[in-house]
Chain A
């Protein structure tokens, strides 16, 4: 049925040249079946359509093509190349009319890459795609989730970090096809990436966002995120992270029994006794390995030693390395020295080691807070704070002019007729709180 395809090509080209992109989108969505039936010929169609002028058409064709192919396909390489080239040259203006299609395209593309073990190819491509489809740098799209996934699989984190370091303000709806799964996945994978680069603070934040998503049922993604949340909190703060109050009820009620093992680990951690922690770990080794959290668990154990060393600074001024090893239950003074050196490097402790005596002297924090750098730091924090306040005010304005809101505020006066005094006072207080 080549004629149907020719028909499609002609229509799409003419409509696009007219600039009538809305029509193009409608037409294209109607003709997906036609395209699906003629999968075999789609490659030729791709050859005829020019990606820049007829982006929407090309995109639709690619979507269908990718959906109907597996990673073992013969000419998968050329297909990948085509997709990459398309995303590089497509016109943003046209794409904005069909963000959901773009998301689909990127989704199938990413899946194929992962299945074909060549995830790294897609990173740059998806970065470009995100930049082209984002309504603003602060919008979250489903492509973000795919990008992060690719980065994680290929262990190449920097490109993702560029996107993740920006605080998200809004979610692009993609005409209804944005799914909460993408949101959860973005934050879950993002948390894992941050853990890998040892930015535990932000990792904890990402996991926390994941588990505090409003939900009516616990999703597996949330569950995994919660397990990692506990582990990262143990490494970062030395105690089990608190589930925030604004997490939905199902989470607070059901997540604990589902991840009992991790709670036990956390409890053992809080006793500051490495033996107990080791026993819990060895008892539940299977569970940890199955969840692929064994690496994090081992990091927890070393974090426990660090925590104990830090507690020593509160009691002692100087200590010999042998004593340190004894008190923290490390195996040898050399290991204690290694730990302390690492901690001094990372700035977690202020101490100096006298190698002749084998003594450690714990020092106070030398920060006097009287340097220009500190002032610059404070200034930066203040700017962030003011930025947040500005955004909040903008959001508040949106609410205040919302007709629904106005209705709710003035509602009681109109509906209840001769209002009882309590309702009236309520409405006055509502108005005064406006």
Chain B
């Protein structure tokens, strides 16, 4: 569960094949919406795996402008993404959506993490405030500076790596913002999360920018990057917990109990199988079952494969551990018992309270 490789290759190629039109005239917002709403190519960008014919671009001409570099461009860095970032972004988006009346919501934020050589690790994120000017998103610099300072105090070794937003495939407005971020940072990473994605894979795409010559004009184009999910122990537990909380409404048993339940059933099954084998061997010995040498040979081999740990030292250590666990459960039982006793005594006192106490004094007990 530590790292999961997401193969975005094919999806990327599907995307690029559907949009890789070398139509690169200057972008307008209007043009871009048509880009999103009319994927005329066979594989809509949300579908994984199916269409990805590499380089069979130019199949259908979709109107609008693409900001993607041509397929086949390889990213320059490798990226690890922490699940915390994904949680942050989705939480931001959900919060925004819950607050706003309009259903179309786009959120923006910064990504921070570590970069060592050609490896980038995106560890955390925070929100950015922006203003809309002529329909373009302008990032609020002061807010960014303030937040960055604060985050630096807490996470001194995390630097600004890039920015994130939500939405479908990237388009020219994203490039605009990207250019602004480029002022703050040399080559920022751009992460796009699609909250409306229909497929079950992670709807997260990461891009970096390259300066390409398109029709003689140096333009900023996006190259999709491969990323892996990386995590540390504490993060995994926390994220797992949050994910469970949000998916289950009622959590009846503790997670420990579920784990132990799984182990218990596994051991039960093992025990029943071992018993079956032992029964068979006993029955053959008694003569009830035909003496089958092959099966018995296999049983013999199995028995020899088992680790036999019967030394004195093992026993000592084993029981040491057993007793430690038993002691802890004992402590737990005692605590639970004390709790019950405390509740019981409170209620008992309440029931048999002397009248002299009076109602006013009742407040003292709580």
A: residues with CB less than 8 A from B are: 368-372, 374-375, 378-379, 381-382, 385-386, 388-389, 392-393, 395-396, 399-400, 402, 404-405, 408-409, 411-412, 422-423, 426, 429-430, 433
Contact = CB atoms under 8 A, between A and B. Distances in A.
A423 B361 CA distance: 10
Most chain A CB inside 10 Å of its own CB: which residue of B316, B317, B323, B341:
B323
Given A370-B317, A382-B326, A388 B344 contact: no
Q: Interface SS of chain B: helix, strand, loop or mixed? A: helix
Given A382-B326, A382-B330, A412-B359, A370 B320 contact: yes
Given A392-B340, A430-B366, A382 B333 contact: yes
Contacts of A412: 359, 362
B175 to A, nearest CB: 56
B337 A378 contact: no
Contacts of A422: 363
Contacts of A385: 330, 333-334, 337
B350 A405 contact: yes
Contact of B316 (A370, A388, A396, A399): A370
B106 interface: no
A370 B359 CA distance: 55
A404 B337 contact: no
B329 interface: yes
A396 B347 contact: yes
B316 A368 contact: yes
A369 to B, nearest CB: 5
B336 interface: yes
B359 A392 contact: no
29 contacts: A369-B323, A370-B315, A370-B316, A370-B317, A370-B318, A370-B319, A374-B319, A374-B323, A378-B326, A378-B327, A381-B330, A382-B329, A385-B330, A385-B337, A386-B337, A389-B337, A404-B351, A405-B347, A405-B351, A408-B350, A408-B353, A409-B350, A412-B362, A422-B363, A426-B362, A426-B366, A430-B350, A433-B346, A433-B366
Contact of B351 (A368, A393, A402): A402
Contact of B330 (A378, A389, A399, A404): A378
B275 interface: no
B337 to A, nearest CB: 4
A370 B325 CA distance: 12
Nearest to B343: A396
A386 B343 CA distance: 16
Given A368-B316, A369-B320, A389 B336 contact: yes
Contact of B319 (A372, A392, A404): A372
B217 interface: no
A429 B350 CA distance: 13
Interface of B: 315-320, 322-323, 326-327, 329-330, 333-334, 336-337, 340-341, 343-344, 346-348, 350-351, 353, 359, 362-363, 366
A369 B323 CA distance: 7
Which 3 pairs from chain A and chain B are nearest by CB? A370-B320, A378-B326, A370-B319
B326 A375 contact: yes
B114 to A, nearest CB: 46
Contacts of B350: 405, 408-409, 430
Nearest to B315: A370
Contacts of A389: 333, 336-337, 340
Contacts of A371: 319
Contacts of B346: 433
A395 B344 contact: yes
Contacts of B317: 370
Nearest to B344: A396
A386 B320 contact: no
Contacts of A411: 359
Given A369-B320, A375-B323, A429-B366, 5 more contacts: A370-B316, A378-B330, A381-B330, A393-B340, A412-B359
Contacts of B337: 385-386, 388-389, 392
A426 B330 CA distance: 36
A382 B333 CA distance: 7
A386 B333 contact: yes
Contacts of B316: 368, 370
A370 B315 CA distance: 8
Contacts of A430: 350, 362, 366
Contacts of A426: 362-363, 366
Nearest to A372: B319
A408 B351 contact: yes
Contact of A400 (B323, B347, B362): B347
A430 B346 CA distance: 11
Contacts of B333: 382, 385-386, 389
A369 B317 CA distance: 10
Contacts of A368: 316, 320
A214 B359 CA distance: 24
A372 B323 CA distance: 8
Contact of B341 (A378, A386, A392, A429): A392
Contacts of B351: 399, 402, 404-405, 408
A399 B348 contact: yes
A386 B334 CA distance: 8
Contacts of A429: 366
A63 B124 CA distance: 88
Contacts of B362: 412, 426, 430
Contacts of A375: 319, 322-323, 326
Contacts of B341: 392
A82 to B, nearest CB: 45
A399 B347 contact: yes
B366 A392 contact: no
B82 to A, nearest CB: 40
A405 B340 CA distance: 18
A378 B323 contact: yes
A379 to B, nearest CB: 7
Most chain B CB inside 10 Å of its own CB: which residue of A395, A396, A429:
A396
Nearest to B339: A389
Contacts of A393: 340
B254 to A, nearest CB: 18
B271 to A, nearest CB: 20
Contacts of A409: 350
A386 B341 CA distance: 12
Nearest to A415: B359
